[in-house]
Every structure is written in C-alpha cells, then in structure tokens.
C-alpha cells in the first residue's frame, strides 16, 4: 500500500547467483493487479477492472467495474484472485481515514454493461493472500502509527477474525505456502521481528481454527529482506520479496529471491537479487506467475519477466547459497 512505501535510496548489491534470468518485458497495468490462472494479469484502477489482452501482451482491455464509492481516493490497496480464479478480493485502500472494507465478488459477475456490486466485509487491508478458494488472510492497521494485524476472512460466512496482532511497525506483504502463513513488517524500528523487512510465519492450521489473535512476536522469523512489501513463493518453494528499505539498511532497487534451503532466518544476501533493467523507480514489487513459471517484477510502468531455473540450474543456485543455510523449522 502507498503509505508503507519508503523513499528509495538505491544501492548496488551483488547477486550471488545468476540462475533466474530476464526473458522479457511488457507494459504494466495501472493500479493493483494479480495473475489469473491462465497467466494473464487482472488489475483495478479507480473503479475500473481491466484484463491483459493476451499472455505477455502490452495491452489491457476493460473487463468490468465495481460500483462507485467503494474504493478510496488513493486507489485499491491490493487485488487478489482466489486459486480457482473464480473470485476477486480487493482492498478499499482507506487505511488511516476511517473504517476499512474488503470487496469480494465473482469474476463471472463482471460486465462492461454495468458496475458489479461487491460484498463488503470489514477488515483493515494492506495486502492479502488466499489459503483456499474461500479464505483470505489480510494484513493492515486501523490507523497510521498503530500496531498492524493479520485478519482471516471467511467469504462463505462473511466473517473476519484478527488472528495475529501486535506487529510493531507497518504492515507488509502476505503469502501462504507449505502449511504456513507469512506476513511482513514493512517499517520496523527494532531487531528480529521488529525490524524493517522481517517476515514472520505462523502455522496455517492453527490460524484457520483461531478465534483470538496470537502476538506477531510468537511467529518464526523466516527472513529479513527489503521492506517485505510483497511476498510470494515460486514453484520451487523459494521466497520472493519486494520493496525497499531506504532507512533500515539501504536496500532498494531489486527483488530478492531467497532459496528454500536458506529459510528460516535468511537475509537478502542469502538469495539472488533481481535487478530490473530500468531500476529508476527503485521500489519493485513481485509476484509468481504459476501458469508461465516466471517471477514478474513490477518497477514503475514495466513488468520484467524472470524465468525460474530448471531443476538442474536450481540445484546450482542452492549449492551457491549452501554456506548460508540455516536449519528449517
């Protein structure tokens, strides 16, 4: 979300491996976006939802819209497609300016003929990830300067429950992988899980059943990288971290891909640093495209496509990173 973005002081760290390779670029959509099951991007700008015209195409066409008045003036905080591609979740982007809502609706309900009326479920919202087709985990804070939290939303019952609280910093990205939920500290002022870019993980089964929150401090410190503004995993289980930490460590201008063998307790230098060609914007975000097997890095108005290494190349990548491996949780 915009308020988590730190002004970038770009540095030039050295990538530890060259396994992930740049294979192409195309025009980024405007506004928050995610990847559909077929590999195309879907995005929201204002109230308008657009879809990429074809895989890797530089153009986007209007696909529908949501009823006016549901999205804040700064735009949606994020857009996320559920695993089957049937439902959209959109954060209203109203952090710090009053009550916040998540918008939910079926993709099939979108039409260019008239706006779609979403279901509204109250929740702070900065970033989110689905654990299944009907359950979304969302990071956010009620107001600026207040501790952040992680909320579980059950779309079937239209309920929201805070499951992690006490994150003493700005909310960061969210990811679900390997039976765990991961969420980041976007701007901390301490060490460990209180540091900028700290990624804490929690047992998914426990959070799925939780009726009251656990403290962020009880999570497993998975990694500390950039500002943990975006989090995702590729198909090899490697952690993909986007953002910028201009004040806490001077990291910026790249996306960090941290090998699964380095988790937990890893830092940016334990992985490969993906540098977009332009690098001017300095606050890149990233998402994994399951359909194409690529890491998509967004830097300003450009999407950079990075191919995930084949198993043989991945082995080389992990060997390079081996001296820094930690024991796994």
* Each residue's pLDDT tens digit, 41-100: 999 999 999 999 999 999 999 999 999 999 998 999 999 999 999 999 999 998 766 689
**Three-state DSSP string of the chain:** CHHHCCCCCCCCCCCCCCCCEEEEEEECCCCEEEECCCCCEEEEECCEEEEECCCCCCCEEEEEEECCCCCCCCCCCCEEECCCCCEEEEECCCCCCCCCEEEEEEHHHCCCCCCECCEEEECCCCEEEEEECCEEEEEECCCCCCCEEEEEEECCCCEEEEEEEEECCCEEEEEEECCEEEEEECCCCCCHHHCCCEEEEEEHHHHHHCCCCEEHHHCEEEEECCCCCEEEECCCCCEEEECCECCCCCECCCEEEECHHHCCCEEHHHCEEECCCCCCCCCCEEEEECCCCEEEEEECCEEEEEECCCHHHHHHHHHHHHHHCCCCC
Band (pLDDT 50/70/90 cuts) for residue 249 is low
Tokens for 118, please give them: 């979403």
Tokens for 175, please give them: 């990811």
pTM of the model: 0.88
Greater confidence, 40 or 147? 40
Rounded average pLDDT over 193-210: 96
Phi, psi for 321 (deg, rounded to 5): -85, -5
Q: What is the dihedral of CA 144, 183, 120, 104, to 10 degrees?
A: 140
Rounded average pLDDT over 172-178: 97
Rg (CA), the chain: 18
Instruction: Give CA–CA dist 104/87, Å, rounded.
Output: 7
- Report the length, in residues, of the chain: 329
pLDDT digits (tens, 9 = 90+) for 154-169: 999 999 999 999 998 8
Instruction: Give CA–CA dist 226/13, Å, rounded.
Output: 12
pLDDT of residue 292: 97
**Mean of per-residue pLDDT scores for the chain:** 87
* Domain extent listing, the chain: 2-324
Is the CB of residue 78 less than 8 Å from the CB of residue 102?
no
Greater confidence, 2 or 229? 229
**Could you say which architecture CATH assigns to the domain 2-324?**
6 Propeller (2.120)
Greater confidence, 95 or 209? 209
Neighbouring C-beta atoms of residue 55, cutoff 10 Å: 13
pLDDT of residue 311: 62
Q: Is the pLDDT of residue 179 over 70?
A: yes
Cβ burial of 61 (10 Å; 0-12, 13-18, 19+) is exposed
Rounded average pLDDT over 2-17: 34
Q: Is the pLDDT of residue 8 over 60?
A: no
């Amino acid at each position: 979300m915009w308020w988590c973005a730190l002004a970038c002081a770009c540095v030039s760290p050295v990538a530890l491996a060259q396994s992930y390779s740049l294979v192409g670029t195309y025009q980024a959509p405007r506004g928050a976006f995610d990847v559909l099951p077929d590999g195309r991007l879907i995005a929201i700008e204002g109230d308008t939802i657009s879809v990429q015209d074809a895989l890797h195409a530089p153009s986007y066409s209007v696909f529908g819209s949501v009823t006016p008045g549901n999205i804040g003036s700064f735009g949606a905080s994020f857009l996320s497609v559920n695993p089957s591609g049937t439902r959209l979740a959109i954060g209203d982007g109203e952090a710090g300016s009053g009550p916040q809502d998540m918008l939910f609706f079926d993709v099939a309900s979108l039409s260019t003929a008239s706006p779609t009326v979403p279901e509204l479920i109250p929740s702070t919202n900065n970033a989110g990830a689905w654990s299944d087709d009907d359950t979304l985990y969302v990071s956010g804070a009620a107001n600026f300067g207040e501790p952040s939290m992680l909320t579980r939303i059950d779309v079937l019952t239209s309920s929201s429950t805070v499951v992690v609280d006490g994150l003493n910093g700005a909310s960061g990205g969210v990811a679900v992988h390997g039976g765990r939920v991961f969420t980041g500290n976007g701007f901390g002022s301490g060490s460990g899980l209180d540091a900028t870019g700290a990624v804490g993980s929690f047992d998914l089964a426990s959070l799925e059943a939780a009726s009251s929150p656990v403290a962020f401090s009880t999570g497993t410190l998975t990694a500390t990288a950039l500002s943990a503004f975006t989090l995702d995993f590729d198909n090899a289980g490697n952690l993909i971290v986007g953002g910028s930490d201009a004040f806490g460590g001077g990291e910026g201008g790249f996306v960090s891909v941290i090998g699964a063998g380095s988790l937990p307790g890893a830092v940016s230098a334990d992985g490969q640093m993906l540098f977009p060609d332009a690098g001017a914007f300095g606050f890149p975000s990233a998402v994994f495209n399951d359909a194409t097997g690529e890491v998509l890095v967004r830097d300003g108005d450009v999407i950079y496509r990075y191919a995930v290494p084949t198993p043989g190349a991945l082995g080389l990548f992990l060997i390079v990173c081996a001296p820094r491996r930690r024991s796994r949780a």
